[in-house]
């Protein structure tokens, strides 16, 4: 019986070993550090003294500290504006907030044992910080209540300016406190750990990939449905893991929204409505959802482990950044040395994202080097991620300009029209105005024009960072996309539902921005924005969209959730000149095209019928044509029959009476 494993060279085994070591070190780093917070760092982070000269770092957090004796008492007079040591006038409101909140945190920190105590993990440290925050909040509330009773609140100062927020809104300061308290081997040797993780992983990946250039060009399945990493899961396990992820996200969303159940309940209601529409109204309940190769039982345990790791990474990155302090510290020298300022979890993410696309892009080129279209397309996504998504925004940030990714387009860039973003554009002068006009131009003119000319592939397969990660890192799992009719029906309802949600949220945002109203028809703008960002921007695009690569394929987000893909797809479906033409007479039904289609399109069914492929979901990656052994499929642009070609099927009829006739 032939072996089901692919042959690997010694160099590739060395590369795998180096990558495994880098991943182990990267994971272990989170448990190496200890945390000890001084009273000065506590006050400087949670209630900075406006009298001190504070410098803002690259992420907008105060970098200076104040002494414990410089805060004074909460009963200080604020009738006259105080001055700092240089004689500069200090805002009385800021002074009062600092005094009341600073005293509350100082007393709570001392009483509960936060300051000058060593904690063995970020979890125990963050638990103590939350405990101190709760006690400080109680003390602040008592002080504010007393001021209200005595009618002693200064003019222009609201009680809500002074009161502390709920713990869920304390996340940013918690991450800053954790960074200030960090001590250990990573803090002392960040560049060493940078080399042992990102450096070693990069080297190992290249050592594994480079030997692939020496083999025969062309596509072979190489037992992708036998590998425990790439064979996928059967319907039961896919449903169970996806269900658990959705329940977990919705459950945490209630806490994220400070126990506001309304929007989580709305989401659950919409989800149940879509399920009912697909399964019963569209009669998909009895349709088999299985793929052509659906593994039996518990399978692909390496894929499950890989997916779980990715899901955990995104959860920590988005919702618990205080626990990835060691990772941020590791890349801080790179941030300071190249761009200036302190690193954040978003710089860490951008750097990792870019390195992964570059390394896995080399793998993509090695695999599809027989196809010039794939080589150029891969080089394109590597360039746009490196230059437009990473380097240019970082350079703009170093110049105190808006860190705008100029290739990001609304509604994928869902916060483009948020008030703080519009204000930032306006305050940046001519450059900010250009960014605003450019973003609007892309939405109104650029997208429909480019899609009409060349299809949605110009963005989804050549430019987009989400698509770039899916095509490079996600390529080993592209065959796991569900090709069933049921999946296609879910796809249409969900992705267009997200597009509608993005449009409504943006309309509410612009209404609030231009009218000054905080709500419309009882819907508070900030809550809608917060929930959309949590559920779609983080939960769907990150946790599920990327974490589920090894479980459900590499285009889960692009296929089911991306609102920009929905917008592009609507134009492509009805107005684009782009299509994949088929030569049904040459098709041998090998199924390579359907296997490798990451968007869940049964390409073989189109090819067998001689029907052009014009689907809203098709991203024009061209892999189906690259893996076809007979040249049946071609990517083409033509205005001919663009208005009606999506409806009829082209069928070749052969008869004695009519000869060979193409009928529609």
Beta bridge partners of 34: 183
- The segment with the largest mean pLDDT, out of 227-231, 362-366, 631-635, is 362-366
80 pLDDT more than 80 = no
Whole-number pLDDT of residue 292? 44
Confidence of residue 474 (pLDDT cuts 50, 70, 90): very high
Whole-number pLDDT of residue 55? 42
Average pLDDT, the chain: 87
Whole-number pLDDT of residue 624? 93
The rounded distance, in Å, linking the Cα atoms of 356 and 379 is 14
58 pLDDT more than 50 = no
Angle at 43 between CA 39 and CA 45, to 5 degrees: 115
Check residue 113 and give left, alpha or beta (phi > 0: left; psi -120 to 50: alpha). Answer: left
The percent of the chain in helix, strand and coil, each rounded to the nearest 5, is 60, 5, 35
Confidence of residue 59 (pLDDT cuts 50, 70, 90): very low
pLDDT in tens, 218-232: 887 778 888 888 888
381 pLDDT more than 90 = yes
Exposed, middle or buried, 55 (CB in 10 Å: 0-12/13-18/19+)? exposed
Q: Which pair of structure tokens corresponds to residue 450?
A: 């480019």
475 pLDDT more than 80 = yes
Closest CA to 355 of 539, 200, 228: 200
Confidence of residue 660 (pLDDT cuts 50, 70, 90): low
* Percent share of the chain, pLDDT over 90: 66
Exposed, middle or buried, 158 (CB in 10 Å: 0-12/13-18/19+)? exposed
328 pLDDT more than 80 = yes
Domain ranges of the chain: 34-183, 577-663
Closest CA to 554 of 495, 619, 614, 610: 619
Whole-number pLDDT of residue 287? 58
Helices (H), 323-461: 325-334, 345-367, 372-384, 392-398, 419-427, 429-441, 447-454, 457-460
Confidence of residue 623 (pLDDT cuts 50, 70, 90): very high
Whole-number pLDDT of residue 663? 57
Residues of 586-602 as b/e, b for ≥16 C-beta within 10 angstroms? ebeeebbbbbbbbbbbb
Confidence of residue 239 (pLDDT cuts 50, 70, 90): confident
Cα 276 to chain centroid, rounded: 29
614 pLDDT more than 90 = no
User: Could you tell me the sign of the dihedral formed by the alpha carbons of 261, 538, 290, 293, in that order?
Assistant: negative
Closest CA to 218 of 621, 629, 624: 629
User: pTM for the complete prediction?
Assistant: 0.88
4 pLDDT more than 50 = yes
pLDDT in tens, 180-222: 999 999 999 999 999 999 999 999 999 999 999 988 888 877 7
Whole-number pLDDT of residue 498? 97
* Contact yes or no for 25/197 (Cβ under 8 A): yes
Closest CA to 66 of 46, 81, 82, 83: 46
Closest CA to 570 of 503, 478, 487, 482: 503
Whole-number pLDDT of residue 293? 47
Pair type for strands 633-637 and 578-582? antiparallel
Longest Cα separation, the chain: 104
User: Lowest-pLDDT range, 443-447, 646-650, 654-658?
Assistant: 646-650
Whole-number pLDDT of residue 78? 39
Beta bridge partners of 89: 83
CATH level 3 topology of 577-663: Alpha-Beta Plaits (3.30.70)
The dihedral formed by the CA atoms of 118, 122, 124 and 130, expressed in degrees to the nearest 10 = 110
Summarize the confidence of residues 645-660 as an average pLDDT: 57
72 pLDDT more than 60 = no
Q: Which pair of structure tokens corresponds to residue 581?
A: 């033409």
Whole-number pLDDT of residue 258? 84
User: Lowest-pLDDT range, 139-153, 271-285, 384-398, 525-539?
Assistant: 271-285
In this structure, the number of other CB atoms found within 10 A of the CB of residue 286 comes to 7
Summarize the confidence of residues 114-133 as an average pLDDT: 94
The rounded distance, in Å, linking the Cα atoms of 506 and 527 is 13
Confidence of residue 237 (pLDDT cuts 50, 70, 90): confident
Whole-number pLDDT of residue 63? 35
Angle, helices 200-209/10-28, rounded to nearest 10 degrees: 150
Higher pLDDT among residues 82 and 78, named by residue:
82
The rounded distance, in Å, linking the Cα atoms of 401 and 339 is 13
Summarize the confidence of residues 239-255 as an average pLDDT: 92
* Percent share of the chain, pLDDT over 70: 87
Backbone angles phi, psi at 292, to 5 degrees: -65, -35
Closest CA to 493 of 244, 276, 237, 241: 276
Confidence of residue 318 (pLDDT cuts 50, 70, 90): very high
Closest CA to 345 of 58, 47, 123: 58
Cα 460 to chain centroid, rounded: 15
In this structure, the number of other CB atoms found within 10 A of the CB of residue 429 comes to 10
26 pLDDT more than 80 = yes
- The segment with the largest mean pLDDT, out of 256-260, 324-328, 577-581, is 324-328
Whole-number pLDDT of residue 151? 85
8 pLDDT more than 50 = yes
Whole-number pLDDT of residue 645? 44
Whole-number pLDDT of residue 299? 67
Whole-number pLDDT of residue 18? 97
Q: Which pair of structure tokens corresponds to residue 400?
A: 């105190």
The helix/strand/coil state of 208 is: helix
The rounded distance, in Å, linking the Cα atoms of 662 and 641 is 15
236 pLDDT more than 50 = yes
Whole-number pLDDT of residue 286? 62
Angle at 184 between CA 178 and CA 190, to 5 degrees: 90
125 pLDDT more than 90 = yes
The rounded distance, in Å, linking the Cα atoms of 317 and 295 is 32
pLDDT in tens, 263-309: 999 999 999 999 999 888 777 666 554 444 455 556 688 999 999 99
pLDDT in tens, 432-459: 999 999 999 999 999 999 999 999 999 9
- CA–CA distances in Å: residue 102 to residues 503, 562, 600: 42, 44, 56
The rounded distance, in Å, linking the Cα atoms of 376 and 365 is 9
pLDDT in tens, 333-347: 999 999 998 999 999
DSSP structural state of residue 165: P
Exposed, middle or buried, 75 (CB in 10 Å: 0-12/13-18/19+)? exposed
Confidence of residue 419 (pLDDT cuts 50, 70, 90): very high
């Amino acid at each position: 019986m032939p072996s089901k494993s692919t042959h690997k060279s010694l160099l590739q085994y060395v590369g795998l070993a180096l990558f495994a070591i880098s991943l182990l070190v990267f994971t272990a780093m989170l448990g190496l550090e200890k945390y000890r917070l001084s009273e000065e760092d506590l006050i400087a982070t949670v209630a900075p003294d406006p009298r001190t000269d504070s410098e803002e770092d690259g992420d907008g957090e105060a970098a200076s500290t104040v002494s414990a004796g410089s805060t004074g008492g909460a009963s200080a007079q604020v009738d006259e504006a105080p001055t700092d040591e240089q004689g500069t006038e200090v805002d009385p409101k800021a002074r009062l907030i600092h005094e009341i909140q600073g005293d509350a945190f100082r007393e709570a920190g001392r009483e509960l044992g936060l300051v000058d105590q060593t904690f063995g993990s970020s979890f125990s440290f963050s638990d103590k910080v939350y405990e101190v925050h709760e006690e400080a909040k109680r003390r602040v509330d008592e002080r504010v209540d007393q001021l209200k009773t005595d009618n002693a609140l200064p003019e222009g100062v609201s009680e809500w300016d002074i009161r502390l927020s709920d713990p869920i809104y304390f996340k940013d300061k918690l991450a800053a406190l954790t960074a200030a308290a960090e001590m250990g081997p990573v803090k002392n040797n960040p560049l060493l750990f940078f080399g042992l993780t990102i450096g070693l992983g990069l080297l190992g990946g290249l050592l594994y990939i480079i030997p692939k250039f020496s083999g025969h060009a062309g596509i072979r399945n190489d037992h992708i449905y036998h590998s425990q990493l790439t064979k996928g899961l059967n319907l039961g396990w896919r449903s169970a893991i996806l269900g658990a992820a959705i329940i977990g996200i919705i459950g945490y969303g209630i806490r994220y929204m400070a126990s506001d159940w309304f929007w989580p309940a709305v989401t659950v209601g919409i989800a149940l409505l879509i399920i009912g529409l697909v399964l019963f109204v569209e009669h998909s309940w009895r349709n088999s959802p299985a793929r052509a190769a659906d593994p039996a039982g518990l399978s692909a345990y390496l894929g499950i482990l890989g997916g779980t790791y990715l899901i955990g990474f995104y959860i920590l990155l988005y919702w618990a950044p205080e626990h990835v302090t060691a990772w941020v510290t590791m890349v801080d020298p790179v941030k300071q040395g190249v761009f200036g300022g302190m690193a954040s979890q978003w710089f860490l993410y951008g750097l990792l994202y870019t390195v992964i696309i570059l390394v896995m892009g080399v793998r993509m080129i090695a695999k599809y080097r027989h196809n010039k279209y794939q080589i150029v397309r891969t080089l394109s996504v590597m360039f746009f991620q490196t230059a437009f998504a990473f380097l240019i925004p970082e350079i703009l940030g170093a110049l105190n300009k808006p860190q705008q990714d100029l290739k990001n387009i609304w509604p994928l860039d869902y916060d483009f029209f948020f008030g703080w973003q519009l204000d930032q554009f306006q305050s940046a002068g001519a450059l900010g105005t250009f960014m605003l006009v450019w973003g609007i131009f892309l939405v109104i003119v650029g997208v429909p024009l480019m899609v009409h000319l060349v299809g949605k592939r110009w963005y989804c397969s050549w430019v987009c960072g989400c698509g770039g990660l899916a095509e490079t890192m996600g390529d080993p799992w592209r065959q796991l996309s569900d090709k069933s009719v049921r999946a296609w029906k879910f796809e249409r309802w969900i992705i267009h539902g997200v597009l509608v949600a993005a449009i409504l949220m943006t309309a509410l945002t612009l209404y609030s921005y231009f009218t000054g109203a905080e709500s419309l028809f009882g819907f508070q703008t900030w809550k809608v924005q917060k929930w959309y960002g949590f559920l779609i921007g983080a939960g769907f695009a990150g946790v599920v969209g990327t974490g589920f690569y090894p479980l459900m394929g590499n285009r889960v987000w692009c296929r089911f959730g991306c609102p920009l893909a929905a917008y592009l797809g609507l134009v492509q479906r009805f107005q684009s000149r782009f299509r994949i033409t088929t030569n049904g007479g040459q098709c041998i039904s090998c199924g390579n095209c359907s296997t490798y289609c990451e968007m869940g399109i049964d390409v073989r069914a189109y090819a067998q019928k001689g029907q052009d492929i014009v689907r809203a979901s098709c991203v024009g990656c061209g892999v189906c044509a690259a893996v076809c052994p007979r040249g049946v499929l071609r990517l083409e642009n033509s205005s001919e029959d663009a208005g009606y070609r999506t409806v009829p099927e082209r069928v070749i009829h052969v008869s004695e009476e009519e000869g060979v006739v193409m009928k529609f």
